[in-house]
Amino acid sequence: MKIIHHTFLGFIFSIMLIFINFVTSFEAVCYWTPDFYRNEFIKYDVTGSLKTWMGESMKLDDMCYVIDQTMVYLRGDRENLIIETNINGKPAMFYNENEKSHMADVRDLFVLCIFLRAIFILSCIAIAGYLIVIAKPSGSLYYLSRGYIHICLIILFIVSLIGILAAADFTKYFTIFHQIFFSQGNWLFDPRESRMINMLPEGFFSDCALKITFTFIRSVIVLLVASILAVVFTHKKIYK
């Protein structure tokens, strides 16, 4: 009975740890990668796209300022998206009301993920501490590591499957994602009317998803290898 109890806690710990890992991987790409947005803007010529579709001129530095302030907003550190920049050489507000409405929904999802990550970190610490007390340090390491190995293999299979599907038709699954998480339908924009969709084309999101996936998989595999080694070195102590 104790083994089942400890194993269950190991599974719960691992699910939360992988979620923590995913949110942190997202953060690493979108917040910690130097010049990530600038390089993407150059790659997709977003200032040229804005000029083509809306007849408006913006400097690259101004576009980078807008996205920097937007990302501050999305993680809950800015109250609104009233962002003034220079368009056609004159001060103007970048976002329209429809764009603000959609980004408010995105912000809610961001903030929820950050909140859950904080709760899961505390929960993981609590589970690890509890197992250390009742199963000793070696036992705690064994059950947590074994649980991670099982959950990790399932997650890697799911992520690989999603990656293959997305690679085959990113637009389709990008649309499905929005239909699930933004069912209110305020995520469709006309490039002739939306500066935001010119700033953030589909190719940007494709690159972003790819970088996050690779970052996530690398970190998951590092922990997987560490977990396998931990199980090997603690197995005999548990079952001697």
User: Residues 205, 212, 176, 170: what is their CA dihedral angle, to the nearest 10 degrees?
Assistant: 60
Residue 239 in this model has a pLDDT that exceeds 60: no
Q: What is the pLDDT of residue 11?
A: 94
Instruction: Spell out where 84-138 has E strands.
Output: 84-87, 90-93
Of the chain, the percentage scoring pLDDT greater than 70 comes to: 97
On whether residue 191 sits in a domain, the answer given is yes
Question: For residue 88, what is the DSSP state?
Answer: T
Residue 236 vs residues 7, 130, 139, 225, 231: alpha-carbon distances, Å: 17, 21, 10, 18, 9
Q: What is the pLDDT of residue 213?
A: 92
Q: What is the pLDDT of residue 205?
A: 94
On whether residue 105 sits in a domain, the answer given is yes
Which residues make beta-bridge pairs with 140? none
What total number of domains does the chain contain? 1
On whether residue 41 sits in a domain, the answer given is no
Range of the domain at 122: 2-33+97-239
For the chain, how far is it from start to end, CA to CA, in angstroms?
Answer: 18
On whether residue 49 sits in a domain, the answer given is no
| Nearest C-alpha neighbor of 4 from the set 56, 12, 47, 174 | 12
Q: 40 falls in which pLDDT band (50, 70, 90)?
A: very high
Q: What is the pLDDT of residue 166?
A: 83
On whether residue 224 sits in a domain, the answer given is yes
Structure tokens given for 225: 């290898």
| Nearest C-alpha neighbor of 133 from the set 119, 143, 118 | 143
Q: What is the pLDDT of residue 235?
A: 73
On whether residue 81 sits in a domain, the answer given is no
Residue keyed to tokens 């530095």: 61
On whether residue 155 sits in a domain, the answer given is yes
On whether residue 87 sits in a domain, the answer given is no
User: What mean pLDDT is predicted for residues 196-223?
Assistant: 94
User: What mean pLDDT is predicted for residues 202-217?
Assistant: 94
Q: What is the pLDDT of residue 203?
A: 94
pLDDT of 11-39, one tens digit each?
Answer: 999 999 999 999 999 999 999 999 999 99
Q: What is the pLDDT of residue 240?
A: 54
pLDDT of 98-153, one tens digit each?
Answer: 999 999 999 999 999 999 999 999 999 999 999 999 988 888 999 999 999 999 99
Q: What is the pLDDT of residue 116?
A: 97
Query: In terms of residues, how long is the chain?
Result: 240
Residue 95 vs residues 2, 86, 142, 185: alpha-carbon distances, Å: 57, 12, 52, 18
Q: What is the pLDDT of residue 237?
A: 62
Say which residue, 178 or 148, is predicted with more confidence.
148
Mean pLDDT score of the chain:
92
For 9, counting Cβ atoms within 10 Å of its Cβ (0-12 exposed, 13-18 middle, 19+ buried), the class is buried
